[in-house]
């Protein structure tokens, strides 16, 4: 007894190919949501060293970071706990749900004898939000070093990209290119 024969027409083949590519893209997008986004940046501020230093410390403590250590090179390390965004977790869950619903629709169209089973794939969509929350609830550090300049302060900072953006916006910091700074300091 032979079952119904599947013929792969051009439309079916292109639908399967596009669906596979979209599923792969969705998988890698969801996986990237848990990636560590630590960056190094160099900033300049017209504020004097002492004023900027105390303001940075107050700001970081207000964001639940505590001074963990300072070393002989003048690098201060602040430690805190990164919190996952509930809104982003819900968005990723919804995105996974829509992607899995599209995959289920394609599968149920190509294989009608499977009945409603392809739609069970949507039950895996909460995994995306869970994965994001697990990967983004973690200890986090911000390391910074202040140096005095003739017209203000230079700030080297290492931390999560979002925290660095908040620091730059809060203190109106001007980002500098570390390579250009090193070249100009070597010339003088």
Q: Which CATH architecture has domain 39-83+141-187?
A: 2-Layer Sandwich (3.30)
Q: How confident is the model at residue 181 (pLDDT cuts 50, 70, 90)?
A: low
Does residue 139 carry a pLDDT above 90?
A: no
Average pLDDT, the chain: 85
Amino acid 137: pLDDT: 82
Give the 3-state DSSP-derived string for the chain, with helices as H, strands as E and coil as C.
Answer: CCCCCCCCCHHHHHHHHHHHHHHHHHHHHHHHCCCCCEEEEEEEECCCHHHHHHHHHHHHHHCCCEEEEECCCCCEEEEEEECCCHHHHHHHHHHHHHHHHHHHHHHHHHCHHHCCHHHHHHHHCHHHHHHHHHHHCEEEEEEEEEEEECCEEEEEEEEEHHHHHHHHHHCCCEEECHHHHHHHHHHC
Which of the pair, 137 or 7, is modelled with greater confidence? 137
Q: How confident is the model at residue 126 (pLDDT cuts 50, 70, 90)?
A: very high
């Amino acid at each position: 007894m032979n079952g119904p024969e599947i013929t792969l027409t051009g439309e079916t083949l292109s639908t399967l190919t596009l669906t596979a590519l979209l599923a792969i893209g969705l998988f890698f997008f969801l996986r990237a949501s848990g990636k560590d986004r630590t960056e190094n940046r160099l900033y300049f501020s017209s504020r004097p060293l002492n004023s900027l230093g105390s303001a940075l410390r107050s700001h970081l403590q207000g964001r639940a970071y505590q001074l963990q250590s300072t070393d002989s090179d003048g690098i201060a390390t602040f430690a805190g706990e990164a919190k996952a965004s509930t809104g982003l977790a819900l968005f990723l869950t919804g995105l996974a749900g829509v992607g899995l619903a599209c995959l289920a629709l394609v599968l149920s169209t190509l294989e009608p004898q499977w009945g409603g089973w392809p739609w069970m794939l949507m039950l895996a969509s909460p995994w995306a939000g869970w994965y994001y929350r697990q990967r983004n609830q973690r200890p986090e550090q911000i390391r910074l070093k202040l140096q005095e300049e003739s017209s203000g302060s230079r700030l080297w900072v290492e931390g999560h990209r979002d925290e660095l953006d908040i620091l730059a916006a809060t203190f109106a910091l001007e980002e500098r290119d570390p390579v250009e700074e090193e070249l100009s300091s070597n010339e003088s």
